[in-house]
Structure 1
Amino acid sequence: MGSEISGSLLPKEKESIKMVLLGTFVAVCGSFAFGSAVGYSSPAQAGIIHDLSLSLSQYSVFGSIMTIGAMFGAITSGRIADLVGRRGAMWASSAFCIAGWVAVSLSQGAWSLDLGRLSTGVGVGIISYVVPIYIAEITPKDLRGLLTTVNQLMISCGVSVAYLLGTFLTWRMLALTGIIPSLIQLLGLFFIPESPRWLAKVGQQEKFKSALQILRGKSADISEEAAEIQGYTESLESLPKARLQDLFERKYARSLIVGIGLMVFQQFGGVNGIVFYASDIFVSAGFSSGKVGTTIMAIIQAPMTLIGAILLDISGRKPLLVISAAGTCIGCCIAGTSFFLKDHDWLKQLVPGMNLAGILVYSASFSLGMGAIPWVIMSEIFPINIKGMAGSLVTLVNWFGSWAISYTFNFIKSWSAAGTFFIFGGICGATIVFVVKVVPETKGRSLEEIQGSLSSCNPADSERLP
């Protein structure tokens, strides 16, 4: 069975997969850095508040200010990636992340702490756009879903490692470990090719063919794929230069609704409130500390993301999204019920265990699909002529949602912990309807096929797409 799966996933040319895998590895080092930044605030919370004498309000600013930086990074990410290429954007991201982590580790007060977190956020905002785009643009269509999902797998690994290291490292040492993946990415960028589709877009034909040949193998016949990419790029070049208002033309409406909608539901389902402040959630439910809960969360996230990555090109995007959204809805309802029981002093002995179960169901379900697939689909649905602007807008929406949830979570939870999770559960339930009614299935189709079909229809035509 295992050999059958491997055989179905790997191209016939063994040589062709080597450079694709190397390019993916270098790119997702940035994803690991992304996860490290997201996971940092939970284990570091007690130490930073104690050492720097911060209030809960000040720490909420610190926890959420990364998302402010990420919004700025998101706004500029598409433009940077279009101007200097996908590799150039990854260079910029790594530089911001490294500078930010150094500032955090050396901080003696809230100002320098927030500035470092802000810089890290800018880097994360850029990387959250460019990594799935780069992987999608270098990968054969039969591997695209699997390898693009590695982006989320490495984000989950980054979060998990931050949680685990945070159980025994000080917050300053934990910040220094965040530098490592960015340094590896900086070095790795010397050894991987630029995106062939970007090279074709900017008219570097010789480099385009050379990069595609490197990615597919020296003996591979790239003529058909090169002709498809060039033909599609040339057809787009005949159009006027894309402007921001062009994003809202009818022909791009479906792509924009799908991309933005998935990011809205991903973030307002509560993920960053839960991930950023997991330790405090467990303590509020009755645990003496949050270390046990966050350790278990760390253990389950990466395996569930890996399972999702394996299933993505087998089952398709939509079924996994529906299952994942349903699981997050159930997890939120279980966690909300635990706090409801606690508020009424009912079955108090069951509350901690029920809360832990709810958070773990949520975390596992999110890792299975809702974490990765919106980014996979975002990388697939926009034509190359508007991909920079559209990708920036979608990524900005994602990070705005992340900021809104991470900043307000502690205040909403103070109002009603049960109500907070029931609201998240309702949003997760609405996600199922959105996926079923609006999101197209993109499994097994080239980027040009997906973008052509979406640009030629409107949201009402969703049932016509395979």
Structure 2
Amino acid sequence: MSFRDETEEGRNDLRRPFLHTGSWYRMGSRQSSMLESSQVIRDSSISVLACVLIVALGPIQFGFTCGYSSPTQAAITKDLGLTVSEYSVFGSLSNVGAMVGAIASGQIAEYIGRKGSLMIAAIPNIIGWLSISFAKDTSFLYMGRLLEGFGVGIISYTVPVYIAEIAPQNMRGALGSVNQLSVTIGIMLAYLLGLFVPWRILAVLGVLPCTLLIPGLFFIPESPRWLAKMGLTDDFETSLQVLRGFDTDITVEVNEIKRSVASSSKRSAIRFVDLKRRRYYFPLMVGIGLLVLQQLGGINGVLFYSSTIFESAGVTSSNAATFGVGAVQVVATAVATWLVDKSGRRLLLMISSIGMTISLVIVAVAFYLKEFVSPDSNMYNILSMVSVVGVVAMVIACSLGMGPIPWLIMSEILPVNIKGLAGSIATLANWFVSWLVTMTANMLLAWSSGGTFTLYALVCGFTVVFVSLWVPETKGKTLEEIQALFR
């Protein structure tokens, strides 16, 4: 073999996925000498649903990280002697880590594949949880929280993109919504387990999702669209065949993906001036806009304040009430998962935004009126209950659309040749605004509770306009057909 051949072979190796799928499932494409083995594998081929359920362990980890700080605050501050401000730093560090992870997420997923990216995200998550469980002071506590956040930042981009790229067009909405459903399940589990186990044991339990995710990644195929983009044609067709079933004719889908990749390869070098073209700026505006508006609507601020609202309404166990809110989120998100491929993305976003606006207006009015009512009066108690109803209604409305669908649409509409960079920017924007809302919620609520919920209501009102004017319907379209909408 000549030096030139060795060099060329080395270059081809660099284009291989970081986490290559095991060769066992490729047997189905071999010749008749393997016919009997092929038949066994054909009968037990991996379904898209199984792949989604495995990668859904990532968002469950995401939700568990978000929910962990709520039921553990009293115990951690007591055991480690933390001040309120020190614990606030601990809670916010996951957002800081997630912003760093978000910056890297797109490029990592582009260079080493979606599965390799999830593997890289899982490792710091495991180390982070172990660091928290053995923490004796703030140094290990803070380091663990940062590592968790970094992993979650990568997961929050990679999982919705992977699901969108493997799902058939008629199931992509429901399967894509599994991402947010898994996040809410993770939050609910953290709330529930936090009622019964000590904070160190809860941290150890936080290791489980990613510990199960790592071996699971070896049993699912890489994204066929990423393989096609990297020029790995054989792997791409095999991966797609596994996802669709060995008896399914994938010729049409293969040709669509090849055409899309060939078209995007001609424009692989994107200059800043190119972003002025509608095919790039419009999906960027929609993707980033939805993810920013999702957070500016104040869902994190409302959830953060929910325990205080419950206390003011006379609820004796705020932790149990918080778990109740988590359970409501799961149920409402499950309903959205069932509806999204039937009713479409736009309709659910509109209903969700309108519902959030009305709910927040109700909460704001209740707080304004409470300023003019005696705390000992029946009217004060009624207004407190109205506040609780408004908060729960807001959580339900958000879970029906603005919770799951912005991540789904982001994964669907970003152009293939800028998806890594654009996805990183969109995910970073979401985490930064989430951190901003969480950090400012206390100050705003101290200024005026009614005013705070009024501001959130105005943002949700603008979201209704944004969705009606600019968000396209992607239901029932292939990713390649969605890209054609912007040309």
Alpha-carbon spacing, 1:147–1:305, altered in 2? closer, same or farther (3 Å): same
Q: 2:481 aligns with which of 444, 449, 453?
A: 449
Q: CA deviation at 1:46?
A: 2.2
Q: Is the 8 A contact 1:62 1:117 kept in 2?
A: yes
**2:347 maps to what in 1?**
319
The aligned counterpart of 1:163 is 191
Is residue 97 from structure 1 mapped to residue 125 from structure 2 by the alignment? yes
Q: TM-score, normalised by structure 2?
A: 0.87
Q: Which runs of 5+ in 2 are unaligned?
A: 1-41
Q: d(CA) in 2 for partners of 1:244 and 1:104?
A: 43
Cα deviation digits, residues 229-254 of structure 1 (max 9, x gap): 01110111112423577555443111
Matches within 5 A, 1:71-220: 71-220=99-248
Asked if 2 retains the 8 angstrom alpha-carbon contact of 1:60 and 1:410, the reply is no
Query: Map of 1:254-269 to 2, 5 A cutoff?
Result: 254-269=282-297
Alignment of 1:181-330 (within 5 A): 181-242=209-270, 246-247=274-275, 249-283=277-311, 287-330=315-358
Instruction: Give the 5 Å matches for 1:34-49.
Output: 34-49=62-77
Give the corresponding residue for 1:345: 373
Q: 1:255-289 CA distances to partner (integer Å, 9 max, x unpaired)? A: 01101110111001112223345334433555444
Letter of the 2:406 partner, please give it: P
The letter for the 1-side match of 2:208 is I
Deviation at 1:15, TM superposition (A): 6.7
Residue type at the aligned position of 2:181? L
**Paired residues of 2:46 and 2:242 also in contact (CA < 8 A):** no
* Pairing 1:285-434 to 2, within 5 Å after superposition: 287-346=315-374, 347-434=379-466
Residues 132 and 140, structure 2, Cα contact 8 Å, conserved in 1: yes
Letter in 1 for 2:446: S
Deviation at 1:142, TM superposition (A): 0.5
Shift of 1:157: 0.7
Closer, same or farther: CA 92–356 of 1 in aligned 2, 3 Å? same
Map Cα deviations across residues 75-128 of structure 1 (whole Å, 9 max, x no partner): 100000001000001101111211111112222223322221111111111000
Provide the aligned C-alpha RMSD in A: 1.9
Query: What's the CA shift for 1:453?
Result: 1.3
Distance 1:54 1:452 in 2: 55
Contact (CA 8 Å) 1:71, 1:125: kept in 2 or not? yes
Match of 1:9? none
> How much has 1:175 moved relative to structure 2?
1.8
Distance 1:238 1:15 in 2: 40
Which deviates further from its counterpart, 43-52 or 151-160?
43-52
Q: Work out the CA distance in 2 between the residues paired with 1:321 and 1:374.
A: 9
Residue 17 (structure 1) shift: 8.4
Q: CA, structure 1 residues 286+338, in 2 after alignment: closer, same or farther (shift >3 Å)? A: farther
Larger radius of gyration: 2
Give the number of equivalent residue pairs.
442
TM-score (norm 1): 0.90
Residue type at the aligned position of 1:138: I
Amino acid in the other structure paired with 1:398: N
Residues 56-76 of structure 1: CA deviation (Å, up to 9, x unaligned): 322222222111111111110
Residues 299-319 of structure 1 deviation map (CA, whole Å, 9 limit, x = unaligned): 211111111011101110011
Aligned-residue identity in percent: 47
2:467 is matched with 435
